[in-house]
Structures are given as structure tokens and as C-alpha cells.
């Protein structure tokens, strides 16, 4: 019998960064977004050989205010702290075991929840530590041929080969993994067990959100599938893939 274990290492990044504050209006274009601006009647940037200062005149209601649920820092260039967190994804063991001579299909999944108060949102990428990703000391499964930018709606492997793929599911998955019921990247649905791609040693985007979700966070499930064709001989052993999930703010 052939056994395969998939180990997922998750890189969790908690980010706090500063942007210009004092909300007047959030302005956007096709290329840029001004998240915070300032209402005043005067201001200037002054510099010397050692210092630089930016000031403003005419702002009202500045300073720090808070209640039991909220906190605001009002005024020109007050620091805006943005929180971004991710729960750890668990290791995955694919099952059932695949026969080295008879072939078969094995599945597994892991999940993580991302929470942020960043109004611009976040992305999550996935990257394998090796190519091919799923390997043993003596053999490997081929990385599935479709990339994350153009996944296959249905998982399909020739009878004479083997392959290893992944598919993310959830409300925040990247547009390329959404579907119209038959084609990936062509709709807004998220069919179960659809839109499969191969892992790469380059980061591939699997989640893309453009708004805050700090009330409850958003769950994403990443499914993995390995298959060996009926006319393919896969060397028996324990196969392992080491994968990194990276969370970044937009």
C-alpha cells in the first residue's frame, strides 16, 4: 500500500502599520485609494538639515477618544493601527492510501480564518518548498499542470501518470478559483471540489479580500488531492509536501 502525508506550515503575519488619518472621505480611482485624508484651511511642510515637519491649521475635534467598544485617534496624521491575524492551518493526511500498482485517488483538507479591520483587505498566497511538491525519497507526484491563475474546473489525470493538486474554497477565494458552474475564473460561484491547480515554488494567490471583516473573520478551506492512474506504477512510500501560506495586507 502507498501512504502519503501532507504537512502544511503556515506563516502567520500580524501587521500594524501607519497611514495618514483623520477620515473625511475615502477617495478611489482605478489605480489609487486615499484611505484617510484631512480637512483644514492651511498647512505646510518645513525642513532643516536635521528635521522635517508637516503641520496643519484649522482642524477641529482632534485627539484620542474611546468607549467600551471603539477607539478613535482624530487629527492630522494620527497613527492608524490595522490588525491582521490568521489562525494556524492544521497538518493534512491524505486518505485513503493509494495502491502503488492499482492506483487511486486520495484527498485531504485544512482550513484557516483571517480577521482584519483593514478597510483595504488582504491576500493569502500558497507556495511549495520543492518542485514537485509531493515527494518521497524514491519518487514523486507530478505537480498538476494548471496554475492558480487558470485552474481546471475538474480534476483530471491520465491513466499513465500521477499528479497532486489543490483547490481553495470560501467566500474570499481569488477570482480565478470562482466559477460559473462549469468554467473557473468566469463567475462568482464556488462549486465544491472544483477549480484545481498545481503547487509551485513561486507564491500563488488563493485568497483576495478588499474590505474589513473584523466582526467574525472569514474561513477558507484548502483541499488537496493526489491521484495515480490505473496504468501507472507509483513507488511505495510516504510522500510529503511542505507548503507555506502567507498572509499580507493590501
Q: How many helices (H) and strands (E) does the chain have?
A: 0, 16
Amino acid 11: pLDDT: 36
Joined together, the cell numbers standing for residue 212 give 474589513
Backbone angles phi, psi at 92, to 5 degrees: -125, 135
User: Domain coordinates of the chain in residue numbers?
Assistant: 3-16+84-249, 27-74
Cβ-in-10-Å burial (0-12, 13-18, 19+) of 69 comes to: exposed
Confidence band of 19 (pLDDT split at 50, 70, 90): very low
Q: How many CB atoms lie within 10 A of CB 81?
A: 13
Cβ-in-10-Å burial (0-12, 13-18, 19+) of 185 comes to: middle
Residue entry with cell 514537485: 132
Distance from C-alpha of 18 to C-alpha of 2, rounded to nearest angstrom: 51
Q: Where is pLDDT greater, at 172 or 12? A: 172
pLDDT, one tens digit per residue, over 63-88 is 778 888 777 777 666 656 678 999 99
Amino acid 32: pLDDT: 65
Question: pTM (2 decimals)?
Answer: 0.73
Q: Rounded mean pLDDT of 146-165?
A: 97
Joined together, the cell numbers standing for residue 80 give 492608524
Amino acid at each position: 500500500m502507498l501512504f502519503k502525508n501532507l504537512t502544511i506550515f503556515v506563516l502567520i503575519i500580524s501587521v500594524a502599520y501607519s497611514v495618514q488619518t483623520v477620515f473625511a472621505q475615502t477617495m478611489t480611482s482605478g489605480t489609487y485609494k486615499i484611505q484617510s485624508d484631512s480637512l483644514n484651511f492651511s498647512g505646510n511642510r518645513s525642513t532643516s538639515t536635521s528635521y522635517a515637519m508637516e503641520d496643519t491649521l484649522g482642524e477641529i475635534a482632534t485627539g484620542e477618544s474611546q468607549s467600551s467598544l471603539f477607539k478613535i485617534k482624530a487629527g492630522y496624521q494620527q497613527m492608524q493601527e490595522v490588525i491582521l491575524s490568521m489562525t494556524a492551518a492544521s497538518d493534512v493526511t491524505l486518505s485513503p492510501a493509494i495502491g502503488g500498482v492499482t492506483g487511486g485517488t486520495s484527498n485531504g483538507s485544512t482550513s484557516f480564518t483571517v480577521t482584519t479591520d483593514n478597510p483595504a483587505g488582504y491576500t493569502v498566497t500558497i507556495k511549495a518548498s520543492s518542485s514537485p511538491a509531493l515527494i518521497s525519497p524514491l519518487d514523486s507526484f507530478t505537480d498538476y499542470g494548471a496554475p492558480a491563475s487558470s485552474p481546471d474546473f475538474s480534476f483530471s489525470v491520465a491513466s499513465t501518470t500521477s499528479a497532486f493538486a489543490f483547490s481553495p474554497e470560501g467566500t474570499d477565494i481569488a477570482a480565478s478559483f470562482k466559477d460559473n458552474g462549469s468554467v473557473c475564473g468566469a463567475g462568482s460561484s464556488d462549486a465544491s471540489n472544483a477549480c484545481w491547480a498545481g503547487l509551485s515554488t513561486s507564491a500563488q494567490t488563493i485568497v483576495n479580500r478588499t474590505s474589513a471583516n473584523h466582526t467574525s473573520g472569514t474561513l477558507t478551506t484548502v483541499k488537496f488531492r493526489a491521484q495515480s492512474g490505473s496504468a501507472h506504477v507509483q513507488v511505495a512510500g510516504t510522500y510529503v509536501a511542505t507548503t507555506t501560506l502567507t498572509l499580507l495586507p493590501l
